[in-house]
A and B are shown apart, each in its own frame.
Chain A
């Protein structure tokens, strides 16, 4: 717990506050203003990328609560996004309701399906649980690919969100919806970890038998973790569906689940800032390398055969290097930076 020089906790209220100094408030206000102003000055393609990054962060925040905080590792998280996406799609397309009703329904539906697939966690731990959540990935995607109501393999069109006369049918307009959901999701996730529930989750992760002796019902809190984690996935899935304007089973692949886990591991499991850093790093790298390869490819067309495969190689090496040099995740580096800044100009 580092405070800036000259700042001291004098009350417990102050001690538990997340944002403690005026400088923090200013930085936060600036960051949010910048985020809202972003589409007005940005390149359209960049907005598209940022939309994808933000939706991934929402899903990763949920997975972080489930796997990072509560320690229930899941490799079927994109399947719960599928539940959210399809629920939202069916409610808006088939039943004709609005997006604003479909979003909460999608969140709850994904949470409830998460409860079912969370049941094995009462008996299984670690890698065994990982395998049982893999089942969720295949079962859910198989079901949506074979039901009539979900449009089978072709998927279904999803109407765009509408508010009065405004139709959110572009990257730029939908960006604002994603941003608001992201801010709310972050707010809730950060508050959760400093509450009784968050502490119970971490207790279950660190030492489940003792947690039970201390009064934490494993049944309740493991399932609660699944519910919350999958609610986040549901929100991400619903946003995803309405952003693209359609859903199909292929969008919710196993690779995506693996990457969501990758984001939180690279970012730092169990920290709220981790999903942000991990997702931005991985997707930023992917996009950066793609842009680089395309650029090089147009300048030196004869080298494209060599450069294109190199992209994946470099990507892999960079990720491996990150994990070796920062095994506790980028969040650890972030905290070190923060404490350096707090104590500046002294070294400790």
Chain B
């Protein structure tokens, strides 16, 4: 990193003695060297920018004068319902944002969608801890601490269905009224987060639902002006009413089927791929099986298989170094490792960053701890490794409270190859990407960062995607067409 900084300094030192000029030069240098700083805007884009920045300043000036109300210094849940009224948000929402590169398939759609599924036929529920669901033609032959009962009957037995559903809905979201009380530390947050996955699992892995769910997810992305997605999936085994369970390859094939159908329905969508990302809390033998599956899937559908990753709470799972010998041998796979999603400094989790880099990861998931590692940041820059930043996820999952302290602002100022993403938006009722863009733009980035930053982030997402080099030009073309539509039809008064 220092070599880049020293280039800046050289210019700084050359300036003449005029204080104001030196000052302006220094401030402008910083803006120019930051992510997006070198982009130039067309006249039409400048019109958008003026509108955007007027509203951004209005919002920030108010927040500056009323720090007790400054949304982004509080928990996301306390302000998420107010976001849609923001004009900056509305502009961002309608802006093409390119690709979504870090999202887990089981947490996309949100609580209402999952609640709706509980109204389907043949659904059994086990009110154990955590509550689990299973579609079956008969009473499931699966262990349940209490007893399996038909969801429809359970619902019919209660006096107040609205209240029953409200309670049920809570299973499908981390959102609550008093998050500071409910989530005093990362421990409680992750416990609750894991319960979410347990409850969602049976509802979504029912084969017909899985297919519908993913089609709906793609629609959801498209409506948020996302043009392309790389979904991380544990590729869970899908099942049928009669109890038939399929293996990983069938799940991958379901993905292929839905992506093809969606692309046929929406030819202007750029596309979708998946990253096979099973749990990191396994031993080396299981990892070996994962790698076998990964290769099998890659062979079967190389155009959809983007690569490999390991997931789960990083602090609590195995560090990458545990698997280094095996992963080094799997150089035929592209890696997209989670690394440094932690507040701990100098721990094995933190050092996952070193291994992600040395293993040749194409991108790094989160990289939250990277700001404390100047040498590694230099490596990330030299090797042009995309850093997938998920601000809202880091806030909800207890890494940071006041997002102004999120390391993203350091990455931006250093012009690291950053892409913004949303991780598990469904688990906290966020948009596929707009909420994350909004909070990053207004809450984390410099007050002075403007449309140049937003546009560069969108372009980065295409650049650092796993789209094949020969298809990137076309992807970029599609994005550019959408971007030009947005700019050409922009009307400040409509926001």
Do A and B actually bind?
no
Chain B residues proximal to chain A, CB less than 8 Å = none
Chain A residues proximal to chain B, CB less than 8 Å = none
